Amino acid sequence: MNENKQYDVVIVGGGVSGTALFYLLRTYTNVGSIALFDKYGGFGQANSHPKNNSQTLHFGDIETNYTLEKARIVKAASDLVATYCDKYGSEKLFKIYPKMVLAVGQGEVDALKDRYEKFKELFPALHPIERDEIAKIEPKVVEGRDPDVPLFALHSTEGYTVDYARLAADMVERGQSARSKDADVFLNTCVDSTRKTKDGFELDSSRGKIQARVVVYATGAHSLTFAKELGYADDLIILPVAGSFFHTPNVLNGKVYTLQLKKLPFAAAHGDPDLCRGDRSRFGPTAKVLPMLERGQWKTIWSFFKLFDLKLSSLMAVGSIIADTTYLKFIARNILYDLPLIGRFFFLPNIQKIVPSIKAMDVMPLKDAKGIRPQIVNRVTRKVSLGESRIVGDKIILNITPSPGASTCLKNGEHDMRDIIEFFGDEFKIDDDRFSTDFPKRS
Ligand SMILES: Cc1cc2nc3c(=O)[nH]c(=O)nc-3n(C[C@H](O)[C@H](O)[C@H](O)COP(=O)(O)OP(=O)(O)OC[C@H]3O[C@@H](n4cnc5c(N)ncnc54)[C@H](O)[C@@H]3O)c2cc1C
């Protein structure tokens, strides 16, 4: 690496977010020199890895915690990924399975029917189905279930299941070959700190110093650490929510989601075929609060507490969220799910809500899932902020991407691309015609 070279744009983080931006800048702008850094030996090895996330391209049709407005936004963002997959994707990148959201019991059935009336216009591919049809599409969902319990589902044939690590690698490859000029990619390179200089930024990395005019951090929860180092986001801390999964024999043909609780988005488990293990179904994720920014990376416990800035308000914010009885019960339950040997017994009812005939001996914990959803907490308001968070500073952008950050990677990348072009004034431009031709509006 040439320590004296100043890149126009440096992107730190080769997950699906950083690589989406790399692809967009290379393909749709004339920005001169761009470098992409990641600390691991491949792209998408952290939260974007298929073992660590649910592999779902979220549209908001079967995610019942989304309001209509939020679903509209997420759909527009996910449409970009669907378009990319349809255009360039192979079997290895994504698969399309049927998907449904399942209501069990009269209360849920009424709520889902009501929701359908409001959402059907936005999602014309979503169809209401009753018990008989559910049984045809997903026999195991009905088999062994009490016939007196009402059942209803919203079903679509368009369930995109994406290997976001492969998507990340694909976007880097396409970005590199988009034009011949100046794109450097450095793996196994950890960036440690950032300093503002007279004409940009200097970053310290395990390979030496990096000079940049504009910097984008797409390092998940770590982005907040870098933001604070530069004096941004004083009010924000992270509540890291780790997710584990369980395997069973193959019992599902597609994705089966259940109704989410309003207060606990993504808390309700779902089941689906696993892209990594075609012979298995996967259920989860659980949601366990862990004091670390990256699961299994013990030194990130220190990084987590460093975000608190020794401020009592940070502890009070986490304390007041955890003290809420809904959260407290949920956190306690999720600790039980991860207990060795007996955790699966506690998790079993969540699976049986979807596939009643599953027995504990069919359920195996998936040991190598290492995903963490960085939920952003405002220590002043003591509230969890849902969705992605972008911190846009002076010629620097820092992205923290809780779920569904993989689904929205290209839209977030588009926002970053437009901000970056603005940072440079008239120096570079976006080829908007090409962008809108490549990503036309989908119905
Ligand atoms: C259990 C679970 C289920 C989920 N399910 C879904 C789902 O179904 N659909 C969906 O859309 N989203 C889902 N998500 C969220 C999704 O996985 C993330 O939003 C998305 O992967 C974030 O991508 P990213 O590139 O921002 O972060 P990451 O994939 O975490 O990438 C960050 C990158 O930064 C690198 N990095 C970090 N620090 C440094 C450093 N100092 N120097 C150099 N490199 C560094 C890391 O190596 C990593 O490659 C889920 C998340 C979890 C945990």
Q: What is the mean pLDDT of residues 145-167?
A: 97
- Ligand 1 centroid to residue 222 C-alpha, Å: 10
- Ligand 1 centroid to residue 34 C-alpha, Å: 21
User: Per-residue pLDDT for 92 more than 90?
Assistant: no
- Ligand 1 centroid to residue 2 C-alpha, Å: 28
18 lines ligand 1 (CB under 6 A): yes
14 lines ligand 1 (CB under 6 A): yes
Per-residue pLDDT band at 384 (split at 50, 70, 90):
confident
- Ligand 1 centroid to residue 50 C-alpha, Å: 10
53 lines ligand 1 (CB under 6 A): yes
- Ligand 1 centroid to residue 406 C-alpha, Å: 7
pLDDT digits (tens, 9 = 90+) for 318-357: 888 888 888 888 889 999 999 989 999 999 999 999 999 9
pLDDT digits (tens, 9 = 90+) for 116-154: 999 999 999 999 999 999 999 999 999 999 999 999 999
Does the residue 286 lie in any domain?
yes
48 lines ligand 1 (CB under 6 A): yes
Range of the domain at 185: 1-55+163-234+388-443
pLDDT digits (tens, 9 = 90+) for 51-74: 999 999 999 999 998 999 999 999
Percent of the chain's residues with pLDDT above 90? 84
Atom of ligand 1 nearest to the CA of 13: 34
Domain endpoint, select from 379, 400, 422 = 379
Residues 194 and 309 in one domain: no
Residue nearest to atom 1 of ligand 1 (CA): 243
- Ligand 1 centroid to residue 220 C-alpha, Å: 6
Mean pLDDT score of the chain, rounded to an integer?
Answer: 94
Overall number of domains in the chain:
2
Per-residue pLDDT band at 387 (split at 50, 70, 90):
low
Residues 169 and 240 in one domain: no
Domain endpoint, select from 379, 405, 422 = 379
Residues 179 and 286 in one domain: no
Residues 246 and 193 in one domain: no
**Six-digit token string for 19:** 């690589």
User: Per-residue pLDDT for 443 more than 80?
Assistant: no
pLDDT of the residue at 262: 72
Does the residue 129 lie in any domain?
no
Residue nearest to atom 2 of ligand 1 (CA): 53
| Ligand 1 pocket: which of 403, 410, 416 to mutate (most atoms within 8 A of CB) | 403
Residues 421 and 356 in one domain: no
pLDDT of the residue at 266: 66
Residues 320 and 212 in one domain: no
**Tokens 């029917």 belong to residue:** 113
pLDDT of the residue at 181: 72
Residues 213 and 294 in one domain: no
- Ligand 1 centroid to residue 5 C-alpha, Å: 29
